[in-house]
């Protein structure tokens, strides 16, 4: 593990804005966060220092839905479970950035 309490700490924006305003929850961010939590548990990644949490608004609405992985501060967008699986496999299990899903700062 790194100096951080978690090897990887994943924050999902699940913010729901007023009707008509763009937000991550419009893209089922909470459901996909729940899917990542389920998969990381099934893959025993929690014991390896991986944690996925809900965050309030991360202020990247136009790039959404978004998540950020610390300690590297790598931002991703995602559309479905396949994208989440790729982030888990590549980044969380193998330490490789998924460039096709990466959101530039």
Q: What is the pLDDT of residues 3-17, one digit of tens each?
A: 678 999 999 988 777
Domain residue ranges in the chain: 8-103
Assess whether pLDDT exceeds 50 at residue 1: no
pLDDT band of residue 105 (cuts 50, 70, 90) is confident
pLDDT in tens, 20-76: 677 777 778 889 999 999 999 999 999 999 999 999 888 887 887 999 999 999 999
Give the per-residue pLDDT at 94. Answer: 97
Give the per-residue pLDDT at 66. Answer: 93
For the domain 8-103, what is the CATH code? 3.40.30.10
CB 4 within 8 A of CB 71: yes
CA atoms within 13 A on the CB side of 10: 26
């Amino acid at each position: 593990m790194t100096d951080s309490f978690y090897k990887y700490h994943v924050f999902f924006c699940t913010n729901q804005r007023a009707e008509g305003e763009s937000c991550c929850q419009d893209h089922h961010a909470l459901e996909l966060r729940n899917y990542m939590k389920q998969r990381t548990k099934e893959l025993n990644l929690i014991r390896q220092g991986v944690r996925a949490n809900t965050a309030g608004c991360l202020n990247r609405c136009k790039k959404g839905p978004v998540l950020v992985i610390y300690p590297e501060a790598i931002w991703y967008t995602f559309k479905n479970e396949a994208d989440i699986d790729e982030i888990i496999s590549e980044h969380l299990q193998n330490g490789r950035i998924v460039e096709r899903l990466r959101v530039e700062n």
